[in-house]
Amino acid sequence: MGHQYKAIQWNGNKIVYDLYVLASTGMFITIFMITGLATQPGGHPADPVILFIRALGVTAFALLTVILTIGPLARLSPRFLPMLYNRRHLGVTMFIVASAHFGLALFWYHAGGPLNPLVSLFVSNPQYDSIPGFPFESLGFVAFLIIFVMAATSHDFWLNNLSAPVWKALHMLVYPAYALLVMHIVLGALMTEKSMLYPIMTGGAFLFVSGLHLYAGFGEWRADNGMKSLKAKGWIDVCAPLDIPDMRAVIAPLPKGDRVAVFRYGGKISAVTNACRHQNGPLGEGRVIDGCITCPWHGWQYRPSDGISPPPFTEKIATYNVKIESGRVFVDPKPNPPGTRTNPALIDMEGASL
Amino acid sequence: MKRPHRRIHFLFWIVIAPITALVGYFSWQMRPATPFTELPPGIETISDASTDTSESR
Amino acid sequence: MTNASKGVIDPQKKDPNEMFVGWASAPAVDRRFLLGALPAGLAASAGASWLIANELDDPGAGAWLTNATHQVTGVLTNHPYPMIRLADARAPFGMRTILVVAQGKCTSGLRLGDVAGKAVSASGVLIQREGRQMLEVPLFLGDWLKLADEEAAEPDALTNPQTEPLGKATLSGTIMDSKCFFGVMKPSLGKTHKACASLCIRGGIPPSFWARTRDGRESVLLMTDAQGGPMSMDILPLVADPVTAQGEIVRVGDILEFRADPNDYRRI
């Protein structure tokens, strides 16, 4: 919830997270190297450098596959929220592994020759007009550039200075990067290696990731379709007061394409934007903890009545006016400026059948 | 903060998933196989040279 | 209108009471899940790593013997590529031909013209694969190359080795760079190695033609132009791809040359 830019704001969960990421990544590479060197048929192992290049490439792709499943999985079950919490460290780990893959491949295959290695990367295979012959190196390079920009701007400093929508749009380039990496593998290793395991695993990873995103996204699309019917001006009928679970919210679409999170905390109801100030996290899927709306993604907090983070923090989100009339909760679709105090609607606990 | 960004994620995948799956599958189908050849007789005997490297002179 | 949020996926609905918040300690339900999921994740990644590394293609028997310096005494020739021929009674045709390349991927700077045709003693790192040998030496002349006693090197048979035409042939196979194939890089065939092989050949490393028959026999032939001279760089785009060409197979001493016009190579 902080606005002070420290390199990393450590806490116990982040340390456990990072140790697990480091341990599993290190173990993956180690097992790959030992297996590759020890168990080749005919006693002919690949040379250790090429084996290492492959281990790094496989690891980076596996990490990115895991990273891309976390978002939709967290939408399907809150059990995956702990993985989402420190996801950017997973991303930075992936970038470091991908850098090592890129650097070592550039050195081993392209250095020490009659051309500049970076020139060789693009001209040594000139078959840009062929599909199976296409220089897969260039696809990996473009994906690496995207990942580099993402890693370089991964800190919250950039998130704030680029603004959340620009930052999110920039980071959405990871999807084309993933598609490029799939093609980098298909047009590279899969053109040579004979085992069916590789196309099955690569295709399986891609279908799993895209399937999860499409499944989770379909739900969002249906919800957004609900908005089209909301052309009417004036206050919006959201639900009955006690349809909202205590300390939680109901998310309602608004006519202009935004979403409002209507929270109930005891006998009071307040409404705020559904988008967290931090990374546009879904506030309405969070809950009220210690009197504050708490984002399920990274735990940023806001007071329900005015949308301001509790001191010492100063983040503000838009609030919406709420009223209860004839047993229904109504929201004014016009957002108040971020941090505007509103009067919570009070539930008549007598009248409501508890 | 004026946008339901999750819809954009969905649109991204609607476009990327089928394109990548199709292009990937068909380019994989086009992968070349190293061809077999007919070697003239007498060639294999030559390639079967000594592997002894202990003697360097 | 009662529930405008109908379509929104709300994961919390299944579990309304607890939520993981990063800066707080994890709820019991998350702890239980993670206690199972984290070890399962480790096991799955270990299994995947083993599976992937275990299925890699056999990269062949090449070896790059970087631990020792190897000394070779024989007659040096510069045509079509730098090589040293030495007498070896146990080898076919009584001689062994060892290609000479420089360290790295640039070997065209290796100026051996002055000593061509003379008996030399050269030391370097040996690269070998199934009887084919190559000596890797520094790019610039130095102590590694000395003129040798001509008697010991039997210069006559080695300077002008027996040459035997084996006839015209149409071969299908792959162009690769001899250095990587002989053992510097494993694997050294296929598309992942194409750029490297092309760069090596551009740098002057002799191109070879790798062909195999349906019954599994393999042959590696040194590629020259139709006259037996060094191969033109025109073949660079075809390196590592499946190609076919009509040419002439010629035995020179103990090695085979595939003599074909660079324009005759076709991708298949």
Mutation choice for C interface testing from B9, B46, B50, B55 by most C CBs within 10 A: B46
- Confidence band (pLDDT; 50, 70, 90) for B34? confident
Q: For A105-133, write each residue's pLDDT tens digit.
A: 999 999 999 999 999 999 999 999 999 99
Radius of gyration of chain A (CA): 25
User: Residue C58: phi, psi to the nearest 5?
Assistant: -65, 120
- Give me the CATH topology for the region A236-346: Rieske Iron-sulfur Protein (2.102.10)
pLDDT of residue A216 exceeding 80, the answer is: yes
Q: Which residues in chain A are contacts of C8 at CB distance < 8 A? A: 219-220, 223, 251, 259, 284
Give the per-residue pLDDT at C141. Answer: 84
Window from A216-225, A268-277, A280-289, B29-38 with minimum mean pLDDT: A216-225
pTM for the model: 0.88
pLDDT tens track for A74-111: 888 888 888 888 888 999 999 999 999 999 999 999 99
Confidence tier at A350 by pLDDT (50, 70, 90)? low
Point out the residue among C4, C61, C199 whose CB comes nearest to the CB of A120.
Answer: C199
pLDDT of residue A317: 92
Q: What is the largest CA-CA distance in chain B?
A: 81
Instruction: Write down the pLDDT at residue A239.
Output: 85
Q: Is the pLDDT of residue A1 over 60?
A: no
Task: Tell me what the pLDDT averaged over chain A comes to.
Answer: 87
Q: Closest Cα partner for C128 from C70, C187, C72, C64?
A: C64
Higher-confidence residue: A195 or A217?
Answer: A195
In terms of pLDDT, which residue wins out, C72 or B2? C72
**Identity of the residue in C37, C185, C199 whose CB atom sits nearest the CB atom of A47:** C185
In three-state secondary structure terms, A292 is strand
Predicted confidence at residue A42, as pLDDT, reads 67
ipTM: 0.89
- Residue C4, pLDDT score: 42
Strands A259-265 and A248-253: antiparallel
pLDDT at B54: 39
Judge contact between A338 and A28, C-beta under 8 A. no
Structure-derived torsion over alpha carbons of residues A46, A52, A55, A58, reported in degrees to the nearest 10: -100
Between the two ends of chain B, the Cα-to-Cα distance in Å is 79
For residue C261 the two structure tokens come to 């016009």
pLDDT of residue A41: 64
A79 at the C interface (CB within 8 A)? yes
Enter the DSSP assignment of C254: T
Using a CB-CB cut-off of 8 Å, the residues of chain C touching B57 are 71-73, 86, 152
Domain boundaries, chain A: 12-224, 236-346
Of the two residues C192 and A327, the one the predictor is more confident about is C192
Of B40, B50, B56, the CB nearest to C249: B40
Q: What pLDDT, on a 0 to 100 scale, did the predictor assign at position C152?
A: 58
Positions of chain C with pLDDT lower than 50, given as ranges:
1-9, 11, 14
Q: B27 — contact with chain C (CB < 8 Å)? A: no
Mean pLDDT of B13-21: 94
| Residue ranges of domains in chain C, CATH in brackets | 63-159 (2.40.50), 163-267 (2.40.50)
The encoded tokens of residue C11 equal: 């994961």
**Contact at CB, B4 and A207, closer than 8 angstroms:** no
Asked whether the beta carbons of residue B35 and residue C172 sit closer than 8 angstroms, the reply is yes
Q: Which of A53, A107, A193 to mutate to test the interface with C (most CBs of C within 10 A)?
A: A193
Instruction: State the Cα–Cα distance between residues C171 and B19, nearest whole angstrom.
Output: 38
